[in-house]
Structure 1
Amino acid sequence: MSSSLERLFSRQIVDGPDLVGPAVQSVSHSRRQKLAFVVLAAILAVVGTGAAAYYFAMRPETLRIAVGPQNSDDVRVVQALTQAFSREHNSVRLRPVLTDGALGSASALADGKADLAVIRGDLDVPKSAQAVAVLRKNVVVLWVPAKPKSDSKAKKGAAKITKIVQLAGKRVGIIGRTQANVNLLKVVLQQYGVDPAKVDIVQFSTNEIAEAIKDQKVDAFLAAGPVNSKITADAIAASTREGGAPTFLAIDSAEAIAQNHPMYEASEIPAGVFGGAPARPDDEVKTISFSHHIVARKDLSEHVVSAFTRQLFAIRQTVMNDFPLAAKIETPDTDKDAAIPVHPGAAAYVDGEEKTFLDRYSDYIWWSLMGASALGSIGAWFAGYLRKDERTNNSSLRERLLDMIAMARKSDSVDQLDAMQAEADTILRDTLSCFENGAIEEGTLTAFNIALEQFHNAVADRKALLAAAPPSPPRANVQLLAGGG
C-alpha cells in the first residue's frame, strides 16, 4: 500500500486512541511482503522453466549407429568418431551397434534398432533411410595376376586375358566374403554379355589371398574398396611374379552401367596408385565406383542430424591423423534425383541453412508467452469471481456505515454512539481484510476512508453536543386530589 494511503488511515479520532493507523500499517507491511513473495516465486518459476527448457533442448543426444563387420576399417573410424565426440563434449554422441556387415546395418536401421547406419550404396537401401554423409567411395578393381615364366601354359602360348569378355569359362576370385561383391561382378559380366553361370566365382577372405595367388587357383581377381585400400594394394603386389606385372581389366562400359544402375558411378583408377616398379597400373583404368554412406532414419530430428553432420565434418581433420580413411568423408548429394535422398538436417548443413535456437523454438516461446498471458487473465478473472461475494458483503457494510452517519447525528445516547463506533471498528477490520485479500481495490478503500472519517466526525460532534447540553430537570410528581376544593 502506498504511503499516502497509509496516511489516510492513520487519523486519530477525537475521543479515543488511534483505531486505524497501526492496523493499516501492519496490513500494508504484510501485503507488501506477500506481494514480494509472489513476485519472487513467479521469477523463480520463470527462471526454472527457462533453465529446464534449455537443459532439455541442449542436453547431449546419443545416437545408435549400426556398423560392421567387427574389426573392419568402418568400425574403427566410427569408434574414433565416438571417442572424439565424447572428448569434445559435443551435443550429439554416438553408440556403435556392431553388425555382420553393411546388409546387417541396413536391417538394424530398418528395424528401428539404430538411428544411423553405415551401408553400401549398391545394396537395397531401407525406405526409411536418408543420406547424411559419404563415408568413403570404393572403386572396382579387376586384374589378372602375372603368370610365372615357368608356367607350361604360358610356354604353349595360352591366350592372355586382357578383356572382360574373356572371363567366360574362367575362375574369378573375389576378395571378401560379402555377397554384395558377387552381385557386383555379375552386373559387370552381364554388361559385357558374359553369362555369370559360365564363370566360376570363388570368394576369399583377406588372409587367403596370398595362398590363392601362389597356388594359381584363379585366373582373375576382383576387389572393391577405397582407391588407397591397403588390402587391395597388398593383393595386387602379391600378384606380381618373377618381375611380371598384373594386367588390369578396364570397365570401358562404366557409363552404361551407371545409367542402368544409378547406385554406381563411372570412375577411374589413377596410374601408379598401387605403387610398384613398374607402376601399377601403368595408366589410368576405367572402372565403376560405389559409396559407403552414413544414413539416418527419416523420422530423426532435423536439428539432431544437422548437429551430427556439423560435428562430423568439424572433427574429421582430427580423426584422420589416426585414421586416414576419415579423409574420404564427403558431403552427401543434395540433388533431388540422388540415388539416396538426403536428410533435411544434412541438407541444411550443406546449404548453410541450419536453424538457430531461436529459429527452432521461437514459435514455442511465442505461444508459451501467449498461453501464460491467457492463463494469467483467466486466473485473475477466476480469482475475482471467487471474491465476488466478499465484495458484495463489503459494499453492504459500507452502506451500513453511511446509514450510521445519519443515525449518529440524531442520537441522544452516548451508549448508542459507543455501540455504533464499536460496529464501525468491526466494519473497518472486515474492509482491511478484504483489501489485503485483493477483493477490493485501492479506490474503494479510499471511498471507505472518507465515509469512516465522516462517521468519526459525526460521533465526535454529537458527543460534544450532548456533553454541552444542560441536564434535563426532574419531573415533579403531581397528585390530583379528587373532589378537592
Structure 2
Amino acid sequence: MTDGPGPADIKPSPRRSARQRLAFVMIAGLLAIIGALAAGYYFAMRPVTLRIAVGPANSDDIKVVQALAQAFHNQQHSQVRLRLVPTDGAPASAQTLADGKADLAIIRGDLDVPKNAQAVATLRKNIVVIWVPPAAKGKGKKAAKITKIAQLAGHKIGVVGRTPANVNLLKMILQQYGVDPLKVDIVQFPANEAVEAIRNQKADAYLAAGPANSKITIDAIAASTRDGGAPTFLAIDASEAIAQNHPAYEAAEIPAGSLGAADRPDDEVKTISFSHHIVARKSISDSTIAAFTRQLFSIRQSLKTDFPLAAKIETPDTDKDATILVHPGAAAFVDGEEKTFLDRYSDYIWWSLMALSAMGSAGAWFAGALKQDERNTNSSQRERLLEMLRTARHSDSTDELDQMQAEADDILRDTLVCFEHGAIEQGTLTAFNIALEQFHNAVADRKALLMSMPQNLQRTATQFRAAGTA
C-alpha cells in the first residue's frame, strides 16, 4: 500500500475556488450596498453649513443672526449651521447672494430681489415714520406749521440712516402727494449722528424707517422734543394707494403711544410698512431649507428675551402671487408637507433592496449552476470508480493498482467537497462509500493474489493477457 498524498500535494479543487470567488463577490456586493446606505444616511443627516449675508456691522440684523448662529450650533441634532458673511447693508447682501457668495441673505423687500432668491422667512416688518419737530420759541418770525406731507415742498428733510433706499422711499412718498423731490432739500444723517443733528435743528422734518420699537427711531423722535412741545407726526393717508402701486409696501398704522411716550403719537397714524426677508438661493435643496426653517422657528421664542426682534420672525407668504416667491423647502415646512428621511430617500432604499435581491437571485442561480456541474462531475467520477473496480479485479500489475488507488483517493476528496457544498445528498454519499469500499477490497485481494504467485507465473499471465487483448 502506498502513502496517500501529503498536505503539500493537495491542490484546491477548481470548483471550490469558483465557489469561493462567488461567495467573495456576493459578500463584497452586500457590504458595498450596506456601505452605500450607511454613507447616504451619514451625508443626509450630517450638519450643513449655510453662509448668510447680513449687514451692516453692529446693526440689529447682524446681532440677531449671530444669536441664531450660536443657537443653531448649540442645538442637539442640528442639521443646519450658519456662517456669517458680513456686508455693508441689505443691498450688498442681496448682491452677495446674487453672485453666489452666500446661500442665505437678509434683504429689504422694497429693493430689487435677486433673480436666484426665494423667501424663507420674514425677519421683521418696518414702519415709516415722518415727523416735524416743534418750532423753537423766541427765534424770529414763527414759521408755518407743517401738518401734511403735501406741505413739505421747499423744506429740508432729514433721512435717518445712510442707505440710499430710505431716500428713494421718501421720494416715492413725495411723488404720491404731488411734491416734486427736486423742490425738497434731502439730507442724510448716519444713525449714530441723527440725535445730535436733530437737536441742532439741521432739518425741518425727518423720516426714519425701521421696526416699530426701533431704538434709533425712538431716540431720534425724543431728540425732537424741545421746550415742552411734542413733534407732529405726518400721516401717510395714501398708504392704500401706495401699496396698490408698489406691492413691496403694505398699508399700516402706528399705534398711539408706541414711539417712546404716551403722546408719541397721541393717536393712531396711518403709514406704510415693508419687510426684511431671509431669502435663499433657489439651488439650495428643499430638504436643507426645510430643516433650516424648522430650526429657525423652533428657537425663535427662546431668543426673544435677549433679542426681542427674534420673536417677530414670521413665516413667509406662500401664495403664488407673493412679492417674493417662497422657497419650496420653506413652503413644505409651513404647509406641514415636509418630507421625512424615508420620504426623501425611499426610492434609493428601494432600488438598493432590489439590487440586493437581484444579487441574491443571481448568486442562487450561480450556486445552483455550480452544484449541477459538481453533480455531473461526481456522477462521472462514480462511473470511473466502478470501471476501476472491474479493472482492479483483473489487473496483473501492482503499479497499476497503486495508480488506480491514488486516483480513487482524488475522487474521494472531490466527493467530500461536493457533499460539503450540498451538491450531493447523504444517500448518494452512502452509495459512493459502498463502491469505494468494494474497490479497496478488490485492490487488496488482487495485490494479495499477485504477491502469492511466483514471478514466472505473473509474467506468463501478463503475456497471455496481452496476447488475448491483441
Q: TM-score normalised to the size of structure 2? A: 0.83
Q: Hey, what does 1:254 align to over in structure 2?
A: 239
Cα distance in 1 for partners of 2:379, 2:427 equals 13
Cα distance in 2 for partners of 1:401, 1:294 equals 85
Say if 2:68 is the partner of 1:68.
no
The match for 2:137 among 139, 145, 149 is: 149
Unaligned runs of 5+ in 2: 6-12, 459-470
Q: Hey, what does 1:300 align to over in structure 2?
A: 284
Q: Hey, what does 2:338 align to over in structure 1?
A: 354
The 1:383/1:465 distance shift into structure 2, 3 A limit, reads closer
Cα distance in 1 for partners of 2:141, 2:392 equals 141
Indicate the larger mover: 38-47 or 89-98: 38-47
The Cα of 1:317 is off from its aligned counterpart by: 1.6
The Cα of 1:207 is off from its aligned counterpart by: 2.4
The 1:119/1:446 distance shift into structure 2, 3 A limit, reads farther
Judge conservation of contact 1:305–1:346 (CA < 8 Å) in 2. Answer: yes
Judge conservation of contact 1:401–1:452 (CA < 8 Å) in 2. Answer: no
The 1:87/1:471 distance shift into structure 2, 3 A limit, reads closer
Judge conservation of contact 2:393–2:446 (CA < 8 Å) in 1. Answer: no
Indicate the larger mover: 91-100 or 462-471: 462-471
Cα distance in 2 for partners of 1:333, 1:474 equals 114
Say if 2:213 is the partner of 1:232.
no
Cα distance in 1 for partners of 2:266, 2:45 equals 54
The 1:124/1:454 distance shift into structure 2, 3 A limit, reads same
Give deviations 1:254-278, integer Å, cap 9, x for gaps: 111111111111111001101325x
Cα distance in 1 for partners of 2:178, 2:390 equals 121
Cα distance in 1 for partners of 2:366, 2:100 equals 48
The Cα of 1:465 is off from its aligned counterpart by: 8.6
Cα distance in 1 for partners of 2:105, 2:291 equals 16
The Cα of 1:449 is off from its aligned counterpart by: 5.7
Cα distance in 1 for partners of 2:441, 2:374 equals 30
Indicate the larger mover: 255-264 or 398-407: 398-407
Q: TM-score normalised to the size of structure 1? A: 0.81
Q: Hey, what does 2:462 align to over in structure 1?
A: none
Q: Hey, what does 2:391 align to over in structure 1?
A: 407
Say if 2:231 is the partner of 1:212.
no
The 1:193/1:385 distance shift into structure 2, 3 A limit, reads farther
Say if 2:435 is the partner of 1:454.
yes
Say if 2:104 is the partner of 1:102.
no
The Cα of 1:471 is off from its aligned counterpart by: 7.4
Judge conservation of contact 2:375–2:423 (CA < 8 Å) in 1. Answer: no
Q: Hey, what does 1:190 align to over in structure 2?
A: 175
Q: Hey, what does 2:65 align to over in structure 1?
A: 78
The 1:460/1:321 distance shift into structure 2, 3 A limit, reads same
Say if 2:331 is the partner of 1:343.
no
Say if 2:226 is the partner of 1:241.
yes
Indicate the SS of the match to 2:192.
helix
Judge conservation of contact 1:174–1:202 (CA < 8 Å) in 2. Answer: yes
Q: Hey, what does 2:467 align to over in structure 1?
A: none
Indicate the larger mover: 83-92 or 218-227: 83-92
Say if 2:43 is the partner of 1:56.
yes
Cα distance in 2 for partners of 1:337, 1:402 equals 90
The match for 2:424 among 422, 440, 443 is: 443
Count of residues in correspondence between the two structures: 445
Q: Hey, what does 1:326 align to over in structure 2?
A: 310
Say if 2:102 is the partner of 1:114.
yes
Unaligned runs of 5+ in 1: 1-14, 20-26, 476-485
Say if 2:260 is the partner of 1:275.
yes
Q: Which amino acid aligns with 1:457?
A: Q
Indicate the larger mover: 91-100 or 41-50: 41-50
Give deviations 1:127-170, integer Å, cap 9, x for gaps: 1111111100000111111111223231xxx3211111111122
Say if 2:117 is the partner of 1:129.
yes
Cα distance in 2 for partners of 1:462, 1:139 equals 112
Judge conservation of contact 1:404–1:455 (CA < 8 Å) in 2. Answer: no
Judge conservation of contact 1:64–1:114 (CA < 8 Å) in 2. Answer: yes
1:165-176 correspondence runs (5 A): 165-176=150-161
The 1:17/1:208 distance shift into structure 2, 3 A limit, reads closer
Q: Hey, what does 1:9 align to over in structure 2?
A: none
Cα distance in 1 for partners of 2:453, 2:70 equals 107
The 1:379/1:200 distance shift into structure 2, 3 A limit, reads farther
Judge conservation of contact 1:409–1:459 (CA < 8 Å) in 2. Answer: no
Give deviations 1:70-100, integer Å, cap 9, x for gaps: 1110000000111111112422110000001
Q: Which amino acid aligns with 1:442?
A: A
The Cα of 1:313 is off from its aligned counterpart by: 1.0
The 1:226/1:58 distance shift into structure 2, 3 A limit, reads same
Q: Hey, what does 2:466 align to over in structure 1?
A: none
Q: Hey, what does 1:6 align to over in structure 2?
A: none
The Cα of 1:355 is off from its aligned counterpart by: 1.3
* Percent sequence identity over aligned pairs: 66
The 1:468/1:151 distance shift into structure 2, 3 A limit, reads same
The 1:398/1:113 distance shift into structure 2, 3 A limit, reads farther
The 1:474/1:351 distance shift into structure 2, 3 A limit, reads closer
Cα distance in 1 for partners of 2:201, 2:444 equals 135
The Cα of 1:389 is off from its aligned counterpart by: 8.6
Indicate the larger mover: 46-55 or 162-171: 46-55
Indicate the SS of the match to 1:153.
coil
The 1:284/1:412 distance shift into structure 2, 3 A limit, reads same
Cα distance in 1 for partners of 2:95, 2:430 equals 82
Q: Hey, what does 2:461 align to over in structure 1?
A: none
The match for 1:370 among 345, 354, 371 is: 354
The Cα of 1:407 is off from its aligned counterpart by: 3.2
Judge conservation of contact 1:408–1:459 (CA < 8 Å) in 2. Answer: no
1:412-427 correspondence runs (5 A): 416-427=400-411
